[in-house]
Amino acid sequence: MLDEAASSESSDAIARKKELLMQRLQQRRPAKQSKSGTDQAKLREEELTEVLNRAREQAESGVVDEETVKTLESFLSLEGCGWSAKRIQSALELLRKAGVGANSEGPQKSTFSFSISKKRNNSGSSGGTPKTTPAVPSESTSFIQKVSSDNAISLADLTGETRVVTGKDGNDVKLKEIRNCRLSFTFRPSTVHIQGLYDSNLVFLPVKTSILMHDCLRSQIFATAQQLRIHTSNELRLHVGVRAAVIIESCTNIRMAPYR
């Protein structure tokens, strides 16, 4: 009888040990998975820090690489909001100031990397461009020429382009029929009017008054403004900060997140 009791206790002890071992193994598995996710987040943070340091160096030297701006915009579209997004926006602001300083040093300096000529025909002036691009200047210097007439920078009928658009604080922005584009504006607009925006990504510095949007689809916008009006648009993701009113009419699937 004593032998049977001892054997039973031994079996129970072995069973308890097995159960404890299984519990420990199950606890370790999610820990390893979370560690993998932490490693990915750490790698992404290191990449972002490297790009931010490069942007700071370029801002100090006054020679800005367009690839750096594109990379920062990509990180901004992923971050959305929060501390990292604020760091990215500050870096873009530094690059904007560096671009304005480079333009003010002399007439049409070709060393300024914000020039849009790489994406268009390599023409020396705004006249005589082979392609028919009404109201769409091919270089940042031609933006200034257009502003002198109506104080507005107008872009129309663009498809599949990535641009860094330069101008002066207080210029209006007019966009029409923009498809599959990534546009970053390095100045503070007075008013932004968008009609026909499709599958695109727009990044603005703070807008003084209003952003007006009509007939827009599957696009993402980063901006702050006094007022935001959206009409007949669908599937938009807006990272915005609005100081007064947001007006949305005849729209569906409009998602909004804070702009920080």
> pLDDT tens for residues 170-219?
999 999 999 999 999 999 999 999 999 999 999 999 999 999 999 999 99
- 73: pLDDT strictly greater than 50: yes
- 31: pLDDT strictly greater than 90: no
DSSP label of 195: E
Hey, where are the domains in the chain? Answer: 2-103, 132-258
Phi-psi region of 229 (alpha: psi -120 to 50; beta: other; left: phi over 0): beta
DSSP label of 255: E
Give me the CATH topology for the region 132-258. Answer: Pectate Lyase C-like (2.160.20)
- pTM of the complete model beyond 0.85: no
Q: Which residue has the higher pLDDT, 118 or 157?
A: 157
Contact 150, 169 (CB under 8 A): no
Looking at residue 78, its pLDDT comes to: 64
Q: Which pairs with CB-CB distance under 8 Å and at least 24 residues apart come from 220-225?
A: 220/77, 222/76, 222/77, 222/89, 222/259, 223/192, 223/259, 224/259, 225/192
Q: Give the contacts of 67 (CB within 8 A, at least 6 positions apart).
A: none
Length of the chain measured in residues: 260
DSSP label of 113: T
**What tokens were used for 21?**
């071992």
Beta strands 234-249 and 162-165: pairing type?
unpaired
Looking at residue 109, its pLDDT comes to: 38
- Determine the average pLDDT of the residues in 127-152: 44
- Determine the average pLDDT of the residues in 1-25: 63
- Determine the average pLDDT of the residues in 87-106: 66
Looking at residue 6, its pLDDT comes to: 52
Looking at residue 112, its pLDDT comes to: 34
DSSP label of 137: -
Strand residue runs (E) in 53-128:
none
